[in-house]
Amino acid sequence: MIFRRKKERIVKEVTILGAGYAGLRALRALQEKQGSFHITLVDQNDYHYEATCLHEVAAGTQPKEKITFPIKDVVKGSTTFIQDCVQAIDTEKQEITLANNAPLHYDYLIVSLGFRSETFGIPGAKEDALQMVNIETAEKIHQHILAMMAKYKETKDKNYLKLVVCGAGFTGIELVGSLVEARPRYAKIAGVQPEEIEIYCVEAAPSILPMFNDDLTNYCLSYLDKWQVKLMTGKAIKAIKPNTVVYQDGKEDTDLAELQAATIIWTTGVSGSEVITKSGFSERRGRVMVNEDLTDPNHANVYLIGDVSAVMDKESNRPYPTTAQIATKMGAHAGENILRQLAGQAPTPFTYQSQGSVASIGNTHAFGVVGKGSKPMKGYPASVVKKMIENKSLLELGGFKEVMAKGRFDLYH
């Protein structure tokens, strides 16, 4: 599609798919400059959500309104926003198929469609466990937990009081922390003492959070222990059946045991959007190994950023972990590279230096490493840093208005 303005200037069409961390940061970079281009932003929702806080909505410790803001608040100038679901991308025709609107043509494309839950083909994981991938699924988890507590009150069946988190990675541990925080409220509904609500976390690896040093991991473990969380490491999940986790409990594949619970939440890992898989990109688990400038190896006008891309860390010789932090940096870089291409210049390579990572366990406890030197931090100071990171991200994507409305200022506890 070629748009012609009054002076017959040829206007290039820049399309951004996905208004998450990567997409909104790219939008900001592009909107900051004026030129012969028009931007179309597509998202299935009319709001942006902070995916890093989904566990809080799932546990019910934050309402969805606290971690969302309307996309229209950040759409400026002549940018068009289309609320629709992207079905597929045809990189040869330079066309995007949408569920409810006519196909879109692009000259430059930014694909930032984010993550989906990875079940690794484990039977029943998709059907019989609750997923936590967006606002809708996070709210579903919360409503489910409340309904199970009410059922316990009615039936006195203890399985209704059991909450199982599958996976003790960053997301699983953060979710466990929020469930612990919400436990007194659940207990009130069920009519029991908070400690009667049993929280399990089942993990295949022999230990948790290998990216942190022993001191930080032990800090986390000591709290899980204090909160009577039943951490089951070295237990590979083999199947999920209705209200049942089947796991390996011994050396042989056939040494199986079952854990019964009415709430089973799946957080073992993520892969990139299925649109990537369906659209014929050269991908693995929904992620494309992009060029140094973040473009698709086969198309210099297609950028893949955030959780749909893999960028090699030359130091470790492994791709960087997919995080909101790197997604935001990629967004800024992709936006700037398209501006360079529009000006007839070559795009530049993306460089990245992690600023660290901090995991929260509930609202008032956190631990992790911060700054370029990866300085270890735990407890109250780490929890303040975590909230400041979230506020900074909100400022970058939504501006001052959203920070004032949705920011985390409950720093003293």
**Residues that bind ligand FAD in the complex, under the rule CB under 6 A:** 18-23, 42-45, 51-52, 54-55, 85-86, 112-115, 170-171, 174, 273, 275, 306-307, 322-325, 327, 357
Counting every residue written for the chain, the total comes to: 413
Closer to ligand FAD by Cβ: residue 178 or 243: 178
Given 13, 174, 181, 336, the catalytic residue: 174
Q: State the DSSP code for 6.
A: T
Shortest approach of ligand FAD to residue 52 CB, angstroms?
Answer: 4
Shortest approach of ligand FAD to residue 315 CB, angstroms?
Answer: 19
Closer to ligand FAD by Cβ: residue 22 or 209: 22
Q: Are 390 and 50 in contact (CB under 8 A)?
A: yes
Closer to ligand FAD by Cβ: residue 27 or 190: 27
Q: Is 254 helix (H, G, I), strand (E, B) or coil?
A: coil
Residues 69, 272: Cα–Cα separation, whole Å: 23
By DSSP bridging, strand 356-360 and strand 366-370 are antiparallel
Closer to ligand FAD by Cβ: residue 227 or 367: 367
Tell me if residue 174 is catalytic.
Answer: yes
Q: Is 224 helix (H, G, I), strand (E, B) or coil?
A: helix
Closer to ligand FAD by Cβ: residue 271 or 341: 271
The residue at minimum Cβ distance from ligand FAD is: 20
Shortest approach of ligand FAD to residue 61 CB, angstroms?
Answer: 12
Helix extents (H) in 209-323: 214-226, 274-278
Helix extents (H) in 12-97: 21-31, 54-59
Residues 37, 115: Cα–Cα separation, whole Å: 29
CA distances in angstroms from 86 to 76, 82, 103, 112, 228, listed in the order given: 22, 10, 10, 11, 43
Closer to ligand FAD by Cβ: residue 243 or 402: 402
Closer to ligand FAD by Cβ: residue 149 or 276: 276
Shortest approach of ligand FAD to residue 389 CB, angstroms?
Answer: 7
Shortest approach of ligand FAD to residue 3 CB, angstroms?
Answer: 22
Closer to ligand FAD by Cβ: residue 170 or 223: 170
Paired strand residues for 260? 244
Residues 346, 344: Cα–Cα separation, whole Å: 7
Residues 292, 348: Cα–Cα separation, whole Å: 8
Instruction: Name the residue among 341, 298, 342, 337 with its Cα closest to residue 92.
Output: 298
By DSSP bridging, strand 37-43 and strand 47-49 are unpaired
Shortest approach of ligand FAD to residue 142 CB, angstroms?
Answer: 13
Residue 368 sits at φ, ψ, to 5 deg, of 160, -165
Q: Are 3 and 38 in contact (CB under 8 A)?
A: yes
Structure tokens at 94: 């330079």
Residues 255, 250: Cα–Cα separation, whole Å: 5
Shortest approach of ligand FAD to residue 398 CB, angstroms?
Answer: 13
Q: How many CA atoms lie within 13 A of 144 on its CB side?
A: 24
Shortest approach of ligand FAD to residue 19 CB, angstroms?
Answer: 5
Residues 178, 55: Cα–Cα separation, whole Å: 7
Query: Catalytic positions, please?
Result: 174
